[in-house]
Amino acid sequence: MDNALSSRESNPRRIKSNIQDIGEYILKGSRPIELELRAQLNAMRVPQEAVEKAIKQQVQRAAGSHIYRVRKAEKVRNYLVTHGYQDHFHVPKKYLYWHEAKQEFLVVCEKVPLADKVVAIVNADMKNNYKRLSVPGTQVDKLAKGTQEQPLTEVQAKALTELATIGLTDLTFNNFFFTPEGKVAILDTESVKRPIKKAYFDDWTTSWVWDKWACEAQQTMTGIAKLKLFCDPKALQAVEAIETCHVLWNSAILIGKIALGYLPSCIYHLLLLFCLLEKL
């Protein structure tokens, strides 16, 4: 692998600041945040020892995020195969690789042939809103330029809703890709804002106002809400059936937690319960 990567990295195509196309593989490294973080902490007159500790923690969290991406890709792939959805999706294999020269972990992802299509947005007003938010190089940019749209099938919408309940919640427009065969290509397997949440939950005081389960339940609701933008009436019916079951189950768990005093501070969780019940 060292020789293969070294030979291909001689002339890489940079997709983003931390993502490179080296032929049959895509390399994803850590975002270059060290200089920015150091400048922010120095401006706040944080002691140098604390600055170095914070940077070290960021590097460790980045490695943890890479491991999460690899494991989540495997988890999603296994779920699709187990439930018979594998003919409707493509999940590229991902590997964790230690780059000796750069002294950092990288995610090596198989390159997937992608169709020049974007996911269809059902609501015309929402589609126009997306077009106004166009950013060069993104799926939204392609939409604004008139790229062909592909609707989600009922099976794909149903499977994505189920995947949202197990952690694949970043179902934004820019994360929808298709293969030439019409399969949904699941490329982004990082949890939404994972480094921020990781840093937040590292603080023991967090448990007094929030818990991980509540965070995941809220993210699932948000992910399904995003997915609905791309569903026709038939697909939407399949999505809402799963959403209702998810809401009922999590409402029951939340009521039990509050009743047993498991959640020391209930204000946030009562609001979450209200949001859950509002979906019914």
Contacts of 82 (CB under 8 A, 6+ apart): none
Q: What is the pLDDT of residue 81?
A: 97
The rounded mean pLDDT for the chain is 80
pTM for the full predicted model? 0.80
What value does the CA radius of gyration of the chain take, rounded to a whole number of Å? 21
Instruction: Render pLDDT for 94-147 as a digit per residue (tens, 0 to 9).
Output: 998 887 776 777 888 999 999 999 999 998 888 998 888 878 888 999 999 999
d(CA 184, CA 254): 33
Instruction: Render pLDDT for 2-54 as a digit per residue (tens, 0 to 9).
Output: 655 665 555 667 776 677 777 788 887 766 555 566 676 677 777 777 777 76
d(CA 268, CA 280): 19
Q: What is the pLDDT of residue 223?
A: 92
